[in-house]
Amino acid sequence: MQTFINLPPQISESAARILSRSDARMLSVHAKELHERYLQGANPLQPHIQKPADCVAYLALRFPATYAQIASALSQIKERIPAWQPKSVLELGCGPGSGIWAAKSIWQSITSAIGVDREQPFLTLAQELHYDSKMALQATWVKSDIVKWVSSEDTTKYDLIIIPNVLNELPEEERAFVIEKVSAKSSGLVVVIEPGTAVGYNIVREVAREVEKTQHLVAPYVDNTFVESETYWIHFSQRFQRPEFQRRIRQSMRDSSLMASDWEDTKYSYVAWGNVPGEKAIWGLCIGRIEKLKGFLTVPVLTREGVTNARVLKRHKAIYNEAKNIRWGDTLEAPIETS
């Protein structure tokens, strides 16, 4: 059965209140422009966020999806290190704090958070969401460029560092620099998340390839082993319920009067590395939908040896019945019996 990851109610209600202060027509215009820029992909000469109204449009249009992606990636990671109890989180390029709210929902143990972003209007939104949510979390919002921030001499370490949907907005050399610097600020895990597109996956794969040389890969890779996969993007899918404010903005952007769907599947790629005790040993991770064909089904699996399509024959009833319930993102403790 498909599971949903929705914004926590207090955060969603706060976002709806913030959005109700905006003129609906102008919000729709800004959301359309923002949507167009996202479709075109990141371009340093044409940043996605160009004015304060773009931050509000992001909240209406993108925030529920990026929250779902991040929370989904973090819940996969939690499954791999079930006993870990991080206390602090740092989000680089935090926007409205999407990663911080997601981290707190996955690990209640988190009591302090820092969000870094160069856009003050985003930090102001994050502050208001935090205030309204009454979340038990000490939060600090820092206006800074990420490159400058990671270059600081400050030796404070953070249990969980997340960099969600940001690297694609940085020039390639800055990406490598941020990744190199950030591991030194981690006392636990660093997690990079990007959209589950070819571009996003390539960025994540490049990070994983570099990081594997000096760090311990935790997820999604198996047995801490990087796998070069050109043909199969390693990415995941998460369904979420669109909140009313997002449905309204989607509807206003449509040419058709047909109702915009009340749910969405959002795709993401991610990699996590660091040193956290209690890693669970697994054989594989399902990295796509199972495909049912005549007389058999196939399960795309990432193992330490690479990406494989495990084929299970229908006549092996018990194994087949078990395999048909495997979902995209599931960990597999033992090899699927194929024969």
Ligand X SMILES: C[S@@+](CC[C@H](N)C(=O)[O-])C[C@H]1O[C@@H](n2cnc3c(N)ncnc32)[C@H](O)[C@@H]1O
Chain residues that interact with ligand X, rule: CB under 6 A: 49, 66, 93-95, 98-99, 117-119, 122, 145-146, 164-166, 169-170
Q: Write the DSSP symbol of residue 261.
A: P
**Smaller CB separation from ligand X, 95 or 188:** 95
**Smaller CB separation from ligand X, 132 or 169:** 169
**Smaller CB separation from ligand X, 31 or 312:** 31
**Smaller CB separation from ligand X, 221 or 270:** 270
What does DSSP say about strands 306-313 and 296-303: parallel, antiparallel, or unpaired?
antiparallel
| The token pair that represents 44 in the structure block | 């340093």
Spatial CB neighbours of 142, under 8 Å, sequence gap ≥ 6? 114, 115, 116, 117, 123, 149
The minimum distance between CB 326 and ligand X, in angstroms, equals 28
| Burial of residue 229, with CB atoms counted within 10 A of its CB: 0-12 exposed, 13-18 middle, 19 or more buried | middle
**Smaller CB separation from ligand X, 54 or 288:** 54
Location of structure tokens 């004015």: 51
Q: Which of 211, 200, 326 is nearest to 272 (CA)?
A: 211
**Smaller CB separation from ligand X, 37 or 311:** 37
Location of structure tokens 């495990």: 310
The minimum distance between CB 8 and ligand X, in angstroms, equals 15
Packing angle, helices 52-61 and 9-20, rounded to 10: 140
For residues 170 and 316, give the distance between their C-alpha atoms in angstroms, rounded to a whole number.
Answer: 50
Residue nearest to ligand X (CB): 95
For residues 298 and 309, give the distance between their C-alpha atoms in angstroms, rounded to a whole number.
Answer: 6
Other CB atoms closer than 10 Å to residue 79's CB: what's the count?
Answer: 15
The minimum distance between CB 261 and ligand X, in angstroms, equals 21
Is residue 299 within 8 Å of 323, Cβ to Cβ? yes
**Smaller CB separation from ligand X, 16 or 142:** 142
Q: Write the DSSP symbol of residue 42.
A: -
The minimum distance between CB 213 and ligand X, in angstroms, equals 25
CB burial readout 316-339, b (16+ within 10 A) else e: eeebbeebeebebbbbbeeebebe
**Smaller CB separation from ligand X, 147 or 253:** 147
The minimum distance between CB 242 and ligand X, in angstroms, equals 15
